[in-house]
A and B are shown apart, each in its own frame.
Chain A
Amino acid sequence: MAKLIKKFSRIAIANRGEVAVRIIKACEELGIETVLLHSEVDINSRAYRMATKTVCIGPAPTAESYLNIQANIDGALGAGAQAIHPGFGFLSENADFAEAVEKAGLTFIGPSAEAIRSLGDKVHCKELAKKAGLPLVPGYQGENQAVNNLIQEAERIGYPVIVKAAAGGGGRGMKLIKSSAEAAELIESAQREAQSAFGSPKVFLEKYLDRAKHIEFQIFGDSTGHVVHFFDRECSVQRRHQKIIEEATSPSLTDELRRKMGEAACAIATLGKYKGAGTVEFLLQDGEFYLLEVNTRLQVEHPVTEEVLGVDLVKMQILTAQGEFLHDPTHVRIPRGHSIECRIYAENPFMGGVPSTGLLGHVEWPEGPGRRYEYGFDSGDTITPFYDPMIAKVIVWDENRPRAIQKMIRVLKDSVVFGVHTNIPYLIEILSHKEFVMGTMTTRFIETYFADPIKEPEMTDVEKKIAAEAMVQLRGGAKATGGVTPVTNSPWASFWRGI
């Protein structure tokens, strides 16, 4: 057994942003050096500054850098790494990449290429689940990808139908088709997004459940392939099929449902000979659950599971890849308290969420008990239009759900991001919404209550006066000493009158 353990001294990271930082931190704690494989434009990022070594693997477009298999492998080999961590997104669920990494004599930190093929490809996964008798949403997972055929299948299933990228996740390459009139346009759009984001245009169709909750189970297969689950997360708050707020554990599961779904999650993962971290996603509607897909990678929202269980999934992934991680059968894990994650997107919430890019100004993440921040950019870094708009994640933990919601609202209000707009005002409105507070939200929550851009509140008179004074002080005015300034009649105050 001891012979099978290989110790890494240097790990390459085929990713960027906050997850690259997360992986670097895990490596640092394990005494492992890191190599960041980055694109030309990502030199202004925390991961670039933190990594032991950096290798530029290509220009900004993902196809030429982060999705370029050979460039990533060459970069890792050239820098003397023994393993590659793919993070999430990009090549993390690409079986060809996992295979090429192993062929190059490196270790892929994740499940085997075979496991990615059988579980990660949503079409194969459904076939496997069907054989195992697990409940599935009705749909079409065939090989015939002609648009006309897909339209026919959509008609057969009955609208509304959802079209999804077979190789993807995270909302990209995913569209909701409500009627035959828009079917062709949306299927083509999904195929293009799938190609651009995951390198494969393959899509599949599924009946759209209109009042379902999105519940997922974190699973983990140890070095021997023994799979256990680390309980559930609820991610029903989604916009355009992209998760915005996630929490652990779900406020919607009874003990009985939790047990059944956990068993189903372990069953499918075991069938797929799963090693490492993965997620089994379900839809839950009217007390019935349906297996949706398996994500054969670390998940964006993994921190909420870490917070309620007191585990470190990234370190566990690395130890599993080294061949030295075994589940301890005497160690019973029980979730404690409640954890919520909010994804901070660089977008303008008052403009319907259009991306906001540019140079980051002052940034502040207020520290305190039960608060955790995962972010990839500091003040002075540039948010570019080339990649995912998620610039940070805010995670809180508290004794119970109401306390956690209360804490999250406060933390978001105290967080400061200048230079790009963020969805923070939007998140605060969601967290304060009655249905979210009650925990009864479904995947249609956002389209039902937040279809229109949120309204920007008017500035109060006090805020106008503060702004006027800020302008004076920033321009090096007489009051720039930082002391308390009594304002009586600033000439600037008049500018905001009547706005």
Chain B
Amino acid sequence: MEIKIRIDGVDHKAQAQMLKGTLWLHVNGRTLTMDAGTGQKSRKKSGAGGSSDTVVSPMPGKVTKILVNVGTEVAAGQAVLVMEAMKMEYTLKSEIAGTIASVGCEVGEQVVLGKTLVKITPKAE
């Protein structure tokens, strides 16, 4: 819907829509989103969330290759699995050095956004 609002005597126009608890707002040539419940920007919801000892699916897509097994030692920045979404491959990497504690997906599996794919036990300092 179109929102009209007067702030300090100036009229502003915006497009706004509520979609699944997220407010989408187009104002002054840009699109903003925020969580309608908390009023926080909602961008945290998508993408590479999670803590550094997990590798989380950054998007919905298919797991095409798993490069590690439980017990594999990985270095920080090492590729752990490959996903495909929208016909492009994305290599997911471990943020930390450590040992693979669990693998929560299979090759060929269609995974949702935010799914924990691999857990890593951090290397003792």
A residues apposed to B, CB below 8 Å: 62, 171-172, 185, 189, 192-193, 196-197, 240, 346, 348, 350-352, 354-357, 359, 361-362, 364, 385-389, 413-414, 416-419, 421-422, 424-425, 456-457, 459, 462-463, 465-471, 473-475, 482-487, 492, 495-496, 499
Contact = CB atoms under 8 A, between A and B. Distances in A.
Contacts of A192: 64-65, 89
A364 B46 contact: no
Given A357-B60, A362-B15, A422-B31, 5 more contacts: A351-B47, A354-B48, A466-B7, A471-B36, A474-B23
Given A240-B88, A351-B58, A385-B85, A463 B27 contact: yes
Nearest to B28: A463
A469 B27 CA distance: 13
Interface string B36-68: 101111010011100000000011110011000
A62 B15 CA distance: 36
Interface of B: 1-7, 11-12, 14-20, 23-34, 36, 38-41, 43, 46-48, 58-61, 64-65, 79, 82, 84-91
Contacts of A424: 31
Contacts of B12: 462, 466
Contacts of B14: 466, 470
Given A354-B59, A473-B3, A492 B39 contact: yes
Question: SS class of chain A's interface: helix, strand, loop or mixed?
Answer: mixed
B24 A362 contact: yes
29 contacts: A185-B79, A192-B64, A193-B87, A240-B88, A351-B43, A351-B48, A351-B58, A356-B59, A359-B19, A362-B15, A388-B86, A418-B26, A421-B33, A421-B46, A457-B30, A462-B7, A462-B12, A463-B32, A466-B3, A466-B25, A466-B27, A467-B16, A467-B23, A467-B34, A470-B16, A485-B4, A485-B6, A487-B6, A496-B39
Contacts of B18: 471, 474-475
Nearest to A469: B5
Question: SS class of chain B's interface: helix, strand, loop or mixed?
Answer: strand
Contact of B5 (A351, A413, A487): A487
B101 to A, nearest CB: 24
A355 B5 contact: no
A189 B82 contact: yes
A386 B110 CA distance: 10
A355 B4 contact: no
A137 B87 CA distance: 27
B47 to A, nearest CB: 4
